[in-house]
Structure formats: structure tokens, C-alpha cells
Amino acid sequence: MAPRAPQIVAFGGGGFSMERGNTLLDDYVLSLADSERPRICFLPTASGDADHYIVRFYRAFSPSRCEPSHVSLFRREGGASDMHEHLLTRDVIYVGGGSVTSLIGAWCAHGLDVTLRRAWERGVILCGLSAGSLCWFEEGVSAFHGPPRHVRGLGLLPWSNCVHFDGEPAREQVYRELLADGMRSGYAAEDGAALHFIGTRLSKVVSSRASARAYRMRRVGARVERRALTAEYLGSLPAALVAAA
């Protein structure tokens, strides 16, 4: 089997921790592994390895459809004897939400920044929501510690990123100001929308909600341009909407 190309699926928001009963984004990520029982590992670092978050992950990703595991940096029992080798042998690595600043600091302290880049280069599918989306980009906008502000990521994707774009009007305002001040161009995603990158190029936008959108954001001269991107809804539209299309 030929190795997979590097892939990242960056959720604006959604998945098992935000969309109870809606498994569309999580199912989509598993489908990319092209395996009957994908090996998926959860990194709850941004939440401080919150126990309830790990429990919810295992409830969402049952052993009947995948091989779930997790790696903890804040617990004596980390979930894997060799976390680096464990991550490099997974099909999917799923990063949870929380503080992206704390996440990046902890990863770098443990050498996971290097390991995750190696995993991505080997074709392990990387995904996540909120902080678990921001972390893959060069830079982004986070509001975890108060008002929206500029943050740095691992830089696997040479773009900027803004998550929960429909959740708080201040996010778009600050993102626009940062772009006008020289932040690199990038992408914004609403809750329920996900950006699927193959290599560093955006391949498609998928959504777990029919109304969820994503946008290309860039400075053009003295103004900031927001361009809506076509999203592929992963669910089934109601019959009335299909007939009207």
C-alpha cells in the first residue's frame, strides 16, 4: 500500500465534545484512514488532560469501530509506554480543545512538536477542534484566556487560522485587524465546518451542519477580503430542501 499524503482536518468547532449525537465530522476523519478498524489516539493536552474529556473520547470512539487510545502529559499513567512511537504508529491523531498556548508549551517540552511533524510527514492523519485546530497552523486567533488575541502554532500549515468564527463577533474583528497589520493570510471556520488539507493545500471544506461555513481570509491592498468557501455537507438534507435545490 502506498503511503498516505500528509493530511490535516482542522475543525472550526464540533466533533464529539461539541455536537452530542452528531458524529459526522468524527466519522469523516475515521473514513480517511482507509482501514476497517483505524487506530486513533486522543491528545487532550490543551485541557490539562481533563479526565471527563478522555472518558467522552472513549465513549465516542468505541472499540467496535476503531482502536482508541490516548496520550496524557499531565498524568503519571500516560496511556502509552513510549508516546513517541505510539503516535507514529497511529492512523489518526485527534487533538482536543482548550488552551493552545499551554498545549504548544507542553508539547515542545516533551518533544511532541517534532514527533507530530514526523507523524504528519508519514501520513498519519492529524485533526482536532478549537486549540486542536489552531495548533497545526503558523499562527491564529484564540480567545481562551480572555479577549481574542494572536497565538503561534506548530507551523505545519503556513497559514493563519480562526476557529469558532460564528461564535463571537469579536473574533472576526480581531482577525481582520491582525491581517491588516501583517498576519499571514489564512482560513476561518465556523462551528461544524472543517478544513481538510492535503499537504499544505486546502483540498475541501466539509461540514456536520448544513449551514456551517468556512472562509478564505487575506489582505488585499488596504482592505481585508473574506471569501466564502463551498462546503460539502456530510449529512442528508431534508427532502424538501433537496427538491428545492
Give the Cα separation of 54 and 206 in Å (integer): 25
Beta bridge partners of 193: 207
Cell 507514529 belongs to: 88
**Active-site option among 130, 133, 142, 208:** 130
Axis crossing angle, helix 112-122 with helix 100-110, rounded to the nearest 10: 90
Q: Is 130 a catalytic residue?
A: yes
**Active-site option among 70, 164, 196, 208:** 164
Beta bridge partners of 10: 128, 195
User: How many residues are listed for the chain in this entry?
Assistant: 245
Q: Is 70 a catalytic residue?
A: no
Query: What single-letter amino acid sits at 118?
Result: R
Strand intervals (E) in the chain = 7-11, 39-43, 67-70, 92-95, 125-129, 137-142, 149-152, 157-162, 186-189, 193-198, 201-207, 214-220, 223-229, 231-233
| Contact yes or no for 79/125 (Cβ under 8 A) | no
DSSP state of 72: -
Q: Which residues are catalytic?
A: 130, 164
